[in-house]
Amino acid sequence: MSENKKDKKRIIYILYIAIIFVFFYLPIVVTMVFSFNSSKSLTNLTGFSLRWYERLVTDGSIMKAVYVSLTIALFATIISTILGTITAIGLSKNRRILKDIVLTINNFPIMNPDIVTAIGLMILFSSAMIQKGYMTMLLAHIAFCTPYVITSVYPKVRQLDSSIADAAMDLGATPLQALVKVIIPMLKDGIYAGILLAFTMSFDDFVISYFVTGNGVENISIVVYNMTKRTNPTINALSTIVILVITILIITSKLIPAMLKNTMKKVMVVLLAMVIGLSLFAGIKSSGRTLRIFNAGEYMDPALVEKFEEEYDCKIIYETFDSNESMYTKLMSGSEYDILIISDYMIERLIKEDYLIPVNWDNITHKDDIDPQNMGYSFDPDNTYSVPYFVGTVGILYDTTKVAEEDLEDGWELLRNPKYAGDVYMYDSERDSFMIPLKSLGYSTNTTDPDEIKEAYEWLIEQKKTMDVVYVGDDVMDNMIAGNKAIAVVYSGDGAYIMEENDNLDYFDPPEGTVEWCDCMVMTKDCSDSELAEEFMDYMLEYDNVVQNSEFVGYTTPVKQVREDMKDDYFAGIEAYTPVFGAPQNEVFYYQEKEVKQMFADYWTKVKAY
């Protein structure tokens, strides 16, 4: 082969490798760059700033999550490595049929989908009446890490000469000395691989951790996942720090291996002692009053939680969820909370299932500050169980430089105007998406009529045919901030958040009506201190606290005076912050019975698959 051909092949090979590296590492570089962005946007660089690193350091929930992730990963790695190594060595001394059985069983956790393992462990802990928290998460991590260690170590055990241990004992070594000084050193490559696998699996785990934890214990994965409910560049800052730490460790291990070899044992002993000490300290619980709160991610200013703890001399166990449905799953698994902050239809469901207890409104001193239009919704007509927290509507966000003012008169039909084909985001939500055609056709969004539901389905199919719409989730916020499309269906609070970053955007509720939503604070039947719970509810309605919380979250408050003041101040000019409530054509979502829910779900599957 000529030298030219060899050079061409070499260049092609180098380009191929370069493309692979770009594919793998470009997202990491982008994450690191945008961690220094001065704005909330994840696509538009507006300037250099360390604001997200400052928020990361001051956010107690994130720092606590880092601590939980590291300690759980270290403990799980150490314990699973010991268990896995002993098991692998023990298998080598057993009959083949027993080896095959154990190895087959060992493969089940590896091959099982994470969600299956998570649900199984959740049911196990609930059945055994074990309170979910740090210990259940640790046990779960040990359970799914150990099989990986066995898989890594066992091949090395098989390569050993079975007479080596006997030879060591013939030379005077005890069985323990033969194991520690002869066998284990010969297995070190497999053990190291098992350690790396176990630590990585534990540190990165989300699904299993999410379902087996409780009592306010959250690792990095859970906190980051709940943060994705809103655009939060703090995630970029956290990711950048993790990446840099890993990079420094890798470089250090390569440059100074001799130093690491001589000091590793001492470092590991000191590190382990620190971890144990911190864990014991963290495990000391307050002897005072405790309040357990379950709320959506990024839906409350953490500073308000800390302030309440100081003012009322109590401990708050604050956990977050990503959807009302996942919240319900955790409740049904046996998790207990005092206060839930959930949406209207889920409140209706829990009322029907007798899971909530009435609120003593005599203890809610700021009741009169709540706008009467945000009270008495159909899911709880007398507000027997619910105290309004945030309210809003679902409407249309549009680019004033691209969408003609007269076209807004089309209402929901704007989403089928051919002028804007390929320029529309629909919200990836079954109920919100079906609400649009139902309202456009003049039907109730809570209809149970099969013909009306089918007609709404056909409306959505026709829209997909002619408009080339894109269904998106919470990433609609950053996409609209960047101006990627002209029109989007959004929640009013998200509209306010987006318009704060892009002055070309505006929001309106179509005249045919829309869905009004109201998220409320409710007390569960497991509430152990209803008086403290009601004090917290009242605290969250105080003027200054409402202002602080609304600025942090960006949604509409039901406290009328705050809403009016913020309209002319913090949210000046953002009409989405003050949607029209109480319009006769507006509705709230009802809880759907099984048959109706299944009908909508079947049609929704067809819409998404079209």
Question: What's the confidence (pLDDT) of residue 576?
Answer: 63
Instruction: Answer yes or no: are the C-beta atoms of 293 and 319 closer than 8 Å.
Output: yes
Tokens of 36: 């220094």
pLDDT of residue 406: 93
Q: Mind listing the pLDDT tens digit for each residue in 269-326?
A: 545 555 555 554 444 444 478 999 999 888 899 889 999 999 999 999 998 887 888 8
Q: Where are the beta strands (DSSP E) in 378-466?
A: 386-399, 424-427
Report pLDDT for 518.
Answer: 92
Alpha helices in 92-219 (DSSP H): 96-111, 114-127, 134-159, 163-170, 175-178, 184-186, 188-204, 207-212
Q: ∠ at Cα 227 (200, 283), nearest 5°? A: 60
pLDDT of 266 strictly over 60:
no
Best mean pLDDT range from 144-158, 318-332, 455-469: 455-469
Find the Cα–Cα–Cα–Cα dihedral 286, 290, 292, 298, rounded to 10°.
-70
> In DSSP terms, which residues pair with 427 in a beta bridge?
472
pLDDT at residue 25 is higher than 90: no
Which of 63-67, 293-297, 500-504, 544-548 tops mean pLDDT?
544-548
- Compute how many other C-beta atoms are within 10 angstroms of the C-beta atom of residue 407: 14
**pLDDT value at residue 253:** 57
Rounded Cα–Cα distance for residues 441 and 512 (Å): 9
Give per-residue pLDDT as tens, 41-97.
Answer: 666 777 788 888 887 777 777 778 888 998 999 999 999 999 999 988 888 777 778
Identity of residue 12: I
Q: Is 296 strand, coil or helix? A: strand
Residue 443's φ and ψ, nearest 5 degrees, are -100, 165
Centre a 10 Å sphere on the Cβ of residue 44 and count the other Cβ atoms it contains.
15
Q: What is the DSSP letter of 182?
A: I
pLDDT digits (tens, 9 = 90+) for 3-18: 677 777 778 888 888 8
- pLDDT above 90: residue 31: no
pLDDT given for residue 282 in this prediction: 46
Which of the four pLDDT bands, split at 50, 70 and 90, describes residue 175?
confident
pLDDT at 569: 76
Cα Rg, the chain, nearest whole Å: 29
Distance separating alpha carbons of residues 167 and 9, to the nearest angstrom: 53
C-beta atoms surrounding 77 within 10 Å: 24
> What are the percentages of helix, strand and coil residues in the chain, rounded to 5?
60, 10, 30
Instruction: Quickly list H helices, 385-523.
Output: 430-440, 450-467, 476-481, 492-499
Contact by Cβ (8 Å): 506, 397: yes
Q: Cα 499 vs. chain centroid, distance in angstroms?
A: 24
Note the pLDDT tens digit of each residue in 179-227: 778 888 888 888 888 988 899 899 889 889 988 988 778 888 888 777 7
Give the total residue count for the chain: 610
Strand partners, 488: 397, 425
User: Strand pairing of 424-427 and 487-491?
Assistant: parallel
Averaging pLDDT over each range in 25-29, 282-286, 466-470, which range is the top one?
Answer: 466-470
Give the integer Cα–Cα distance in Å for 368 and 542.
11
d(CA 98, CA 92): 10
Q: Which two tokens stand for residue 186?
A: 């010969």
Phi and psi at residue 545, in whole multiples of 5°?
-70, -35
* pLDDT mean over 373-390: 94
Alpha-carbon gap, residue 565 to 561, rounded angstroms: 6
Whether the pLDDT of residue 263 is over 80: the answer is no
Share of the chain above pLDDT 90, in %: 42
Most confident of 92-96, 292-296, 475-479, 552-556: 292-296
Of the pLDDT bands very low, low, confident and very high (cuts 50, 70, 90), residue 469 is very high
Range in 297-301, 381-385, 568-572 the model is least confident about = 568-572
Question: CA 553, CA 551: separation in Å to the nearest integer?
Answer: 6
Q: How large is the average pLDDT for residues 231-241?
A: 78
Q: How would residue 228 be classed by pLDDT, with cut points 50, 70 and 90? A: low
Angle, in degrees to the nearest 10, between helices 188-204 and 134-159: 150
- Helices first, then strands: H and E counts in the chain: 25, 10
| Predicted local distance difference test score (pLDDT) of residue 478 | 83
- The pair of three-digit structure tokens given for residue 86, joined into one six-digit string: 């002993």
* Cα angle, residue 496 at apex, residues 493 and 498 outer, rounded to 5°: 110
Q: Is 566 left (phi over 0), alpha (psi -120 to 50) or beta?
A: alpha
Region 372-397: what's the mean pLDDT?
Answer: 93
Burial of 169 (0-12, 13-18, 19+ CB in 10 A): middle
SS3 265: helix
Indicate the residue type of 198: A
Name residue 515's beta-bridge partners.
587
> For 508-521, how does the pLDDT look when each residue is reduced to its tens digit (9 = 90+)?
999 999 999 999 99
Q: How confident is the model at residue 329 (pLDDT cuts 50, 70, 90)?
A: confident
Q: Which residues pair with 321 in a beta bridge?
A: 296
Closest CA to 550 of 564, 535, 566: 566
User: pLDDT exceeding 70 applies to what percent of the chain?
Assistant: 89
Q: Is there a contact between 140 and 121 (Cβ–Cβ < 8 Å)?
A: yes
Give the per-residue pLDDT at 362. 95
Question: Above 90 in pLDDT, residue 471?
Answer: yes
Separation of alpha carbons 170 and 173, rounded Å: 7
Average pLDDT over residues 422-431: 92
H helix runs in 256-314, sequence order: 257-283, 302-312
Give 573's pLDDT tier (boundaries 50, 70, 90). low
Q: How far apart are CA 54 and CA 234, in angstroms?
A: 9
Mean confidence (pLDDT) of the chain: 85
**Is pLDDT at 398 greater than 90 in this prediction?**
yes
